[in-house]
Amino acid sequence: MSAEGFWDNQDKANKVMQELKGLKTIVEPFQECVKSVNDAKEFLGLGGEDEDLNKQLAEEAVLLDNKIKVIELQAHLSGPFDGANALLSINAGAGGTESCDWAAMLMRMYTRHADLKGYKCEAIDVLYGDEAGIKNATLRIEGDKAYGYLKSEKGVHRLVRISPFDANKRRHTSFASVEVIPEVEDDTDVEINPSELRIDVYRASGPGGQGVNTTDSAVRITHLPTGIVAQSQKERSQLQNKAFAMKVLRARLAALKARQQEEAMNKEAGDKQKIEWGSQIRSYVLYPYQMVKDHRTGVETSATTKVLDGEIDAFIEGFLKTKPEDRDKRLRARGNDDV
């Protein structure tokens, strides 16, 4: 940053400033903890029979322990894209209205979670169900290490409850899948040939088929070689929606490229076949008892209302602290067992 001409390129300078900010959030708390430990050691020798000082040291030890746990969690967020914003997509599974309503509940859960974390959350695209809920939606979640935390949510989520749409009040099981990818920069090494894109424009719609915009401003971009689709209807401007859709497409292509490279490395190394994306990762049981359980980590809670209101930090932390091979073993061992 002290180099001559550093501020000549504002975009590059801002990226460096952002990197500096991210590094400081790791280094400074660590340095504070080291100082607190050294100070505590000095006071410990002076404590002796001073009950007040010993009580103060015990209270500070609890606070220090909590700070260290936060730093330990940060150590798990060292991936190349962990500091990026997240693009979170929710897709209703088979089951019609039931699954669409469950997808809408998940969308609300992640929106509330973003609010609790102080993240900025916006819906890039939402396709509403015929009767209730949503068929699919894409959320852009902006905040410090948003992708690093939310990558734990990728997979199939299962809901068990008494259906509000069933006049006979029977128990129903619904599924919805969640995909989380990092939002990549425009200069990321992902080549997109304009001739390989099909761009469609259409009128955005809301619940009940009401027109959100009065012009054909929504944009859908299809990458023909891969079949990957990205769309946006959040803005009233067609150009803005196209830019958002291209950002989503670029991120999905980058995720596909990374996944293909990982599969090639695993094949080369002769690894055993891993549980693929789409495995059921978490169950939310509202009837006949209250329980949310993550099948990869064993983390569970009976506070289902709080979880559906966005309090999912315990599941995220459990995922980050559990080794990948241990998560896979748990999923394999679970088989078809219920919660």
What's the residue count for the chain? 339
Long-range contacts formed by 120-123: CB under 8 A, 24+ apart:
122/234, 123/234
Please report, in angstroms and rounded to a whole number, the separation of the first and last CA atoms in the chain.
Answer: 53
Average pLDDT score over residue span 149-159:
95
Please tell me the predicted confidence (pLDDT) of residue 24: 86
In tens, the pLDDT along 61-116 reads 999 998 888 888 888 887 888 888 999 999 999 878 999 999 999 999 999 999 99
CB atoms within 10 A of CB 239: 10
pTM confidence score: 0.78
Identify the helix (H) or strand (E) that includes residue 32.
helix 10-47
> Residue 241: which of 233, 250, 229, 253 has the closest Cα?
233
How sure is the predictor about 333, in pLDDT bands with cuts at 50, 70 and 90?
A: confident
Helix-strand-coil split of the chain, %, nearest 5: 45, 20, 30
Identify whether the C-beta of residue 319 lies closer than 8 Å to the C-beta of residue 297.
yes
* DSSP label at residue 185: P
* DSSP label at residue 7: G
Bridge partners of 161, per DSSP, are: 172
The whole-angstrom separation of Cα 233 and Cα 218 is: 4
Please tell me the predicted confidence (pLDDT) of residue 268: 46
Please tell me the predicted confidence (pLDDT) of residue 96: 86
In tens, the pLDDT along 31-50 reads 999 998 988 888 777 766 77
Q: With 50 as the cut, is the pLDDT of residue 227 above it?
A: yes
Which range among 196-205, 250-259, 267-276, 313-322 shows the weakest confidence by mean pLDDT? Answer: 267-276
Burial code (b: 16+ CB inside 10 Å, e: under 16) for 220-231 equals: bbbbeeeeebbb
What residues have CB less than 8 Å from 64, skipping those under 6 apart?
33, 36, 37, 40
Please tell me the predicted confidence (pLDDT) of residue 278: 44
Average pLDDT score over residue span 121-139:
93
> Residue 192: which of 170, 223, 152 has the closest Cα?
223
Q: What string of DSSP letters covers 267-288?
A: HHHTPPPPPPTT-EEEEEE-SS
CB atoms within 10 A of CB 55: 11
Identify whether the C-beta of residue 238 lies closer than 8 Å to the C-beta of residue 220.
no
Most confident of 4-8, 207-211, 266-270: 4-8
Please tell me the predicted confidence (pLDDT) of residue 302: 97
Most confident of 58-67, 87-96, 184-193, 310-319: 310-319
Amino acid type, 22: G
What residues have CB less than 8 Å from 297, skipping those under 6 apart?
315, 318, 319, 321, 322, 327, 330
